[in-house]
Amino acid sequence: MSTHLPAPPLLPGRGSQTSTAIPAIPEPQFCPENFQQLVAASYAMRKIRSAIRVATFDGSTIAIFATLSLLMDYKDPITVLLCLGLGVVAFVELRCARRLARLVPGTTRIMALNQLALAGLLILYAGSQIWLTMRRTTLGPGVISPETADALQQLGMDAAPLVKLIFTFVYGTLIFVAIFGQGGLALYYYLRGKYVEAYIAKTPAWIIRLQRAGFS
């Protein structure tokens, strides 16, 4: 009995009469003018890159803070709502940082509104904590330790007014930071919009297409 093995395929140039030549792909040509355009674009992009770094750092910091706060006090419904809100703000901030790197129009406006939303969230939280503190007639175990209360009583001091004053100062400071910190950052993002518009208007279209495709 004879066994027929399949013949090996013919390689191009070795007996094949129907080989198809692979067309050569032309290499991209860069002239000195193109390199000058890249250098100029990199220089013009510096303030936009600065905003991207700020947004990336801010979004990452908010996400870490929200996660740690939720792990430490997940039983408090107000804290849970605050952390969920912070998580949304962090997500928008990091997403906008990526969009800004690709020069998506309107991104800086969204970033500014996101900071104003964060300011409103912090003000609402701090205001609610001040209101709850002022309504307390006694200090619960979660507010001050018994040892601290006994020490204050031995000094002839009433713990409740002192703790209310401290809480008011702490959350009042948070309101101050929210107004000026987040408000200032919102203004910073909003003003960066004109740099994005100027960059798109003055930079060659082929560089813009590369950046929007994901190339740095």
pLDDT recorded at residue 91:
97
pLDDT tens digits in sequence order for the chain, 216 residues long: 555 555 545 555 544 455 556 666 565 677 788 888 888 888 889 999 999 999 999 999 999 999 998 898 888 888 899 999 999 999 999 999 999 999 998 999 999 999 999 999 999 999 988 888 777 655 554 555 556 556 656 655 555 677 778 888 889 999 999 999 999 999 999 999 999 999 998 888 888 888 888 776
pLDDT recorded at residue 134:
78
Distance CA 215, CA 206 (A): 12
User: For the chain, what is the largest distance between any 2 Cα atoms, rounded to a whole number of angstroms?
Assistant: 113
* 3 state SS for 70-134: HHHCCCCHHHHHHHHHHHHHHHHHHHHHHHHHCCCCCHHHHHHHHHHHHHHHHHHHHHHHHHHHH
What angle do the packed helices 183-202 and 107-135 form, to 10 degrees? 180
C-beta of residue 33 within 8 angstroms of C-beta of residue 68:
no
**pTM here?**
0.74
The residue ranges of every structural domain in the chain are 45-209
C-beta of residue 159 within 8 angstroms of C-beta of residue 139:
yes
CA 201 to centroid of chain Cα atoms: 26
Distance CA 122, CA 69 (A): 14
